[in-house]
Amino acid sequence: MLNRVLGVITRASKRFILMSQEVPVPQAVKAPKKSKLQVSLKTPKGTKDWADTDMVIREAIFSTLSGLFKRHGAVTIDTPVFELRDILAGKYGEDSKLIYNLEDQGGELTSLRYDLTVPFARFVAMNNIQNIKRYHIAKVYRRDQPAMTKGRMREFYQCDFDIAGTYESMVPDAEVLAILVEGLTKLGIQDFKIKLNHRKILDGIFKISGVKDEDVRKISSAVDKLDKSPWEAVKKEITEEKGQTEETADKIGEYVKLNGSLKEVHELLSKDEAITSNELAKEGLDEIATLIKYAEAFAIEDFISFDLSLARGLDYYTGLIYEAVTEASAPPENATDLKKKSKNSEDASEYVGVGSIAAGGRYDNLVNMFAQASGKKSAQIPCIGISFGVERIFSLIKQRINASSNIKPTSTQVFVMAFGGGKDWNGYLPERMKVTKQLWDAGIETEYVYKAKANPRKQFEAAEKCGASVAVILGKEEYLENKLRVKRLGPEFADDDGELVDAADFVSVVKQKLSEVHEDGVNEVTRLIRGL
Amino acid sequence: MLNRVLGVITRASKRFILMSQEVPVPQAVKAPKKSKLQVSLKTPKGTKDWADTDMVIREAIFSTLSGLFKRHGAVTIDTPVFELRDILAGKYGEDSKLIYNLEDQGGELTSLRYDLTVPFARFVAMNNIQNIKRYHIAKVYRRDQPAMTKGRMREFYQCDFDIAGTYESMVPDAEVLAILVEGLTKLGIQDFKIKLNHRKILDGIFKISGVKDEDVRKISSAVDKLDKSPWEAVKKEITEEKGQTEETADKIGEYVKLNGSLKEVHELLSKDEAITSNELAKEGLDEIATLIKYAEAFAIEDFISFDLSLARGLDYYTGLIYEAVTEASAPPENATDLKKKSKNSEDASEYVGVGSIAAGGRYDNLVNMFAQASGKKSAQIPCIGISFGVERIFSLIKQRINASSNIKPTSTQVFVMAFGGGKDWNGYLPERMKVTKQLWDAGIETEYVYKAKANPRKQFEAAEKCGASVAVILGKEEYLENKLRVKRLGPEFADDDGELVDAADFVSVVKQKLSEVHEDGVNEVTRLIRGL
């Protein structure tokens, strides 16, 4: 027996052994090897459990956003958490190395989804969908270096809204931007701005600066780092690593420093002959002119900063690109703000925050890539979307909501109790269960103490702990006369004995009292999240 | 160039190649190799996309169940979709081979969760939780042979409710059974029964039949197959494969044929001296006596069939075990029904249905297994839970709901349109956007046509398609006078010109008209799901 146990322990170096209660392990063997028998009780790196009020807040964020998406006419879809590996291949540029693969256990090769956009494009192409507005709230997976405090996790939720289909130019684009503004505003985030750029203008700038077609995407990747690195570092990457001339880099540098309102930057670029004579940049500029009109109709123009340094990492964007940042997520300031509010770049460290809290762009070729690669006929379905970074938004809201605030994790409204019988009394447990069941059946959140005998104090404490606002009391004698006592809970009702009612009527009395409690109709969590 | 392309094509046999628009592929090369370039646009085996009204129905199921769980005082938690591989090891008996592993990409070894129970027990042990009622609605993963028509998938949702903590005996057990009854009833499933057994009684039966301690679990696994195989096959497995005597098998066979109401079977077993003199079985029998009292308090006893053939596959159950079945999921009848309703076993094929639609049991040692294996001090946290098989329940509801029923996938209530200006008129697109935005900001689900010019017919068709019940109309002249027309939609309002109102008041008029539409207050989908 000893040998068997030792053998098991040796083989167990990396494996988890549940100590069978049927195998008595001699203490002398067990003690020194104890550490080898241990398994760490934790979640995998970069993941976490969500519970308690965090979960209540997160659910309120989801319901705020899904309500918003529905308001804009969206349907929702649900795609598998893993996709065929081929579907994800070639979509994420340098970040493809962050994709989680599933083990080859025979059968197809699959990977966990990296975002919700590629599965959406796959869905649209696969089902020959011509147009759809859809939202999708689900987890995505990236084998990134986690930074929990900033809300950067390996498993995290995205809340995506996308419009696919051929429509009047810039109309869906303006709606997506409106959704971004409405979403953040409804979540109580006030101090955000939307950095916006246009891939056609950006690519045009690279070309007129002397970048060859085949180098455009990699120069774009370098410029994308401007939110983390100063221009000098990016310039070095452009010239030394990516083989552009000093002159090209300087030209790019002049353009990407520009930012300001849509109108200001549009006006400035419209006067730039190099820009207006480049076909691609001109197209982008005309689209911005159209966007200005619709942004005014939606009254969102003040939230937008046209920022030529914004590049966005993903390969698949083809038009507008944008991301929302707050003070907490602002980058080191490298750009010359047209409004002359620029800060000294020494201040960079102050600005290490949660990063962008929502981002997206137009991707007009992705669906067609899938259609073509699958041998279907060409399907040019233009798409545009926005992805809310819920985990980061959660961090901001959590900071704002006072830790001592009144969010409770359960929904319990009513507590059923019994007393009046003294020490030898049976405590009316089945009777309390019966009364509770009637409330459950009436749709009312109700609890009771799971004990045969519980003294009044314990029952009131339990009621308070779960935040119930009404008590239904079975008095020993009163219950025998088919009467129940219904009473408001809380310090202001300490002297209130409640109302003694016929057992037949008690549910409606409870409902009446609850409606008094919830007079205002606005959920406490929603109020806190909106910062009211 | 040709060589490079051919090389790529050859290497591409299993890989996905997106045809780069920058590499012109000669037609002569491309055409014959086309099939090799293709990627299948599909979801992995055993998974599917959810969309349209299916998604609406499923969300209504989730919201019905989460409402139920909250009513019973539960909080919700969210655990990562993958766990450290060691956490899942040794929990699922023979089914462990169905666990999906993630590839070893450096770092920890992880696997997709197989159920929500083991992650829950890990969570309770890890956080030293003494008691909790939690629900969790999330996807789980099993590399099983998929059977889509029966709702058996490799990725599927579970809706779990569990109570952890030390309480009065059988009180949480009765509540979990009440939740099972309430949940299925609220989902419009009427013809279900709960098959219930007790592991202590079952294990006691095995012992008094002559099974050795170390063989109990594997005999239990054999008996578990009685819902799919006739007794003769199970007996063969017990004697030939699992080395028990003919006599032992026959004794077991006598007991597992028994089923009937809790009271009937309890009474029968109480008269059986072999049972009552076995300590384990006696304990189980006493617990059933207590359960009978509480099942009466909750008025759920008629739903329960005490069925000694129920064994449940999982290793970790220690007390009550149960599963809900409907006519559609009923097994071939091998047991002698005490009520003499038994059917000929030839009928078995008729009963190949969706399987159990909800199942669970008591698992008092699982949390402690984790506590001990992690080197913590012992933490005996008794647990009991129920898992609703949503995908299977969905199949049943889907069958019931007529395909032509009136479920719409969007929530759109209002459609904003403009007309009256003739062919050369600009179509008031920014104006429609502005009006729409006011409705969005008022929380009203609103759409409009994304076209500069759209004729009245097209706009009415679009409004009908998305199921809007109110139209807001910008008449060319009326709008210039700051007036909007608010009109009910639908065939019965075809002759109604609507109400011309001041632009300043139109939102409240829309709200008024919408409240007329939704007078009854019961959601159409909820009504359909409940079978009303």
CATH homologous superfamily of A414-517: Anticodon-binding domain (3.40.50.800)
Listed by number, the residues of chain A in 469-528 with a beta carbon closer than 8 Å to a beta carbon of chain B are none
Query: Using CB atoms, which residue from A48, A78, A122 is nearest to B50?
Result: A78
Q: Phi and psi of B140, rounded to 5°?
A: -125, 165
* Band of pLDDT at residue B333, cut at 50, 70 and 90: very low
- pLDDT in the model for residue A398: 86
| pLDDT one-digit tens code per residue, A230-247 | 999 999 999 999 999 999
Interface test with B, best of A35, A49, A113, A291 (most B CBs within 10 A): A49
- pLDDT in the model for residue A524: 65
Nearest CA in chain A to B443: A71
- Summarize the confidence of residues B349-370 as an average pLDDT: 79
Sheet of strand B258-260: strand arrangement: B75-76, B132-141, B155-164, B383-389, B358-362, B320-326, B192-198, B304-307, B258-260, B336-337
Q: Is residue A493 pLDDT above 50, yes or no?
A: yes
- pLDDT in the model for residue B197: 98
- pLDDT in the model for residue B149: 67
Inspect the interface and report whether the beta carbons of B433 and A294 lie closer than 8 Å. Answer: yes
* Band of pLDDT at residue B228, cut at 50, 70 and 90: confident
Inspect the interface and report whether the beta carbons of A434 and B297 lie closer than 8 Å. Answer: yes
Tokens matching residue A410: 């359960």
Give chain A positions within 8 Å (CB) of B443.
67, 71
Q: Phi and psi of B251, rounded to 5°?
A: -60, -50
Listed by number, the residues of chain A in 109-168 with a beta carbon closer than 8 Å to a beta carbon of chain B are 109-110, 112, 122-123, 125-127, 134, 139, 141, 143, 155, 167-168
The three state secondary structure string of A23-57 is: CCCCHHHHHHHHHHHCCCCCCCCCCCCECHHHHHH
Q: Is residue B4 pLDDT above 60, yes or no?
A: no
Are B389 and B357 a contacting pair, CB within 8 Å? yes
Q: At a CB cut-off of 8 Å and minimum separation 6, what does B168 contact?
A: A429, A450, A451, A452
Q: In CATH terms, are B45-189+360-400 and B191-356 the same topology?
A: yes
Nearest to B372 by CA among A25, A7, A47: A25
Inspect the interface and report whether the beta carbons of A16 and B86 lie closer than 8 Å. Answer: yes
Tokens matching residue A45: 């790196």
Environment class of residue A255 by beta-carbon count within 10 Å: exposed (0-12), middle (13-18) or buried (19+)?
buried
Query: Worst-scoring range by mean pLDDT, A164-168, A203-207, B358-362, B454-458?
Result: B454-458
- pLDDT in the model for residue A519: 65
- Summarize the confidence of residues B426-431 as an average pLDDT: 96
- Summarize the confidence of residues B50-62 as an average pLDDT: 93
* Band of pLDDT at residue B399, cut at 50, 70 and 90: confident
Q: Does domain B191-356 have CATH number 3.40.220.10?
A: no
User: What CA–CA distance (Å, rounded) separates A161 from B138?
Assistant: 21
Nearest to A75 by CA among A125, A133, A118, A121: A133
Please state, as a whole number, how many other Cβ atoms lie within 10 Å of the Cβ of residue A164.
25
Binding positions of B are: 115-117, 142, 158, 162, 312, 316-317
Handedness of CA A417, A421, A423, A424 (dihedral sign): negative
Inspect the interface and report whether the beta carbons of B155 and A452 lie closer than 8 Å. Answer: no
Would you kindly state where each structural domain of chain A is located, as residue ranges? 2-37, 46-189+366-400, 191-356, 414-517
Q: Is residue A169 pLDDT above 70, yes or no?
A: yes
Q: Is residue B287 pLDDT above 50, yes or no?
A: yes
User: What CA–CA distance (Å, rounded) separates B56 from B523?
Assistant: 12
Tokens matching residue A128: 């020959």
- pLDDT in the model for residue B524: 65
Inspect the interface and report whether the beta carbons of B411 and A182 lie closer than 8 Å. Answer: no
Q: What is the mean pLDDT of chain A?
A: 86
Are A182 and A299 a contacting pair, CB within 8 Å? no
| pLDDT one-digit tens code per residue, B454-482 | 999 999 999 999 889 999 999 999 999 99
Give chain A positions within 8 Å (CB) of B38.
373-375
Q: Is residue A188 pLDDT above 60, yes or no?
A: yes
Query: Using CB atoms, which residue from B43, B447, B451 is nearest to A73?
Result: B447
* Band of pLDDT at residue B47, cut at 50, 70 and 90: very high
Are B353 and B150 a contacting pair, CB within 8 Å? yes
- Summarize the confidence of residues B436-458 as an average pLDDT: 95
- Summarize the confidence of residues B247-276 as an average pLDDT: 97
- pLDDT in the model for residue A11: 38
Inspect the interface and report whether the beta carbons of A84 and B376 lie closer than 8 Å. Answer: no
* Band of pLDDT at residue A315, cut at 50, 70 and 90: confident
- pLDDT in the model for residue A532: 54
| pLDDT one-digit tens code per residue, A436-477 | 999 999 999 999 999 999 999 999 999 999 889 999 999 999
Q: Three-state SS for B388?
A: strand
User: What CA–CA distance (Å, rounded) separates B103 from B117?
Assistant: 24
- pLDDT in the model for residue B19: 34
Handedness of CA A407, A408, A414, A416 (dihedral sign): negative
Tokens matching residue B187: 């989902």
User: What CA–CA distance (Å, rounded) separates A257 from A259?
Assistant: 7
- Summarize the confidence of residues A165-192 as an average pLDDT: 96
| pLDDT one-digit tens code per residue, A123-148 | 999 999 999 999 999 999 999 888 87
State the count of interchain CB pairs (< 8 A) between A and B.
Answer: 310
Interface ipTM: 0.85
- How far does the CA of residue B126 sit from the closest CA of chain A (Å)? 6
Interface test with A, best of B9, B18, B218 (most A CBs within 10 A): B18
The three state secondary structure string of B253-308 is: HHHHCEEECHHHHHHHHHCCHHHHCCHHHHHHHHHHHHHHHHHHHCCCHHHEEEEC
Q: Is residue B261 pLDDT above 50, yes or no?
A: yes
Q: Is residue B20 pLDDT above 90, yes or no?
A: no
* Band of pLDDT at residue B532, cut at 50, 70 and 90: low
- Summarize the confidence of residues B322-338 as an average pLDDT: 61
Give the residues across from B135 on adjacent strands.
B76, B161
Give chain B positions within 8 Å (CB) of A168.
429, 450-452
| pLDDT one-digit tens code per residue, A8-51 | 333 333 333 333 333 333 333 333 333 445 788 999 999 999 99
- pLDDT in the model for residue A149: 67
Q: Which residue has the higher pLDDT, A530 or B214?
A: B214
What DSSP string describes B308-341? TT---S-TT--SEEEEEEEGGGPPP--SEETTS-
Are A121 and A363 a contacting pair, CB within 8 Å? yes
- How far does the CA of residue B427 sit from the closest CA of chain A (Å)? 12
Q: Is residue B76 pLDDT above 90, yes or no?
A: yes
Nearest to A443 by CA among B72, B532, B390: B72
* Band of pLDDT at residue B519, cut at 50, 70 and 90: low
Alpha-carbon distances of B271 from B265, B266, B274, B275, rounded to whole Å: 10, 9, 9, 8
- pLDDT in the model for residue A476: 95
Handedness of CA A298, A303, A308, A314 (dihedral sign): negative
Inspect the interface and report whether the beta carbons of B450 and A172 lie closer than 8 Å. Answer: yes
Q: Which fold has domain B45-189+360-400?
A: BirA Bifunctional Protein; domain 2 (3.30.930)
Query: Worst-scoring range by mean pLDDT, A455-459, B88-92, B246-250, B414-418?
Result: B88-92
Q: Is residue B86 pLDDT above 60, yes or no?
A: yes
Residue A77 in contact with partner chain B when CB distance is under 8 A: yes
Give chain B positions within 8 Å (CB) of A84.
39-40, 42-44
Helix ranges (H only) for B417-497 are 429-441, 456-465, 476-480
- Summarize the confidence of residues B199-205 as an average pLDDT: 97
Q: Three-state SS for A338?
A: coil
- pLDDT in the model for residue B400: 82
The CATH architecture of the domain made up of A46-189+366-400 is 2-Layer Sandwich (3.30)
Binding positions of B for L-histidine are: 115-117, 142, 158, 162, 312, 316-317
- Summarize the confidence of residues B121-127 as an average pLDDT: 96
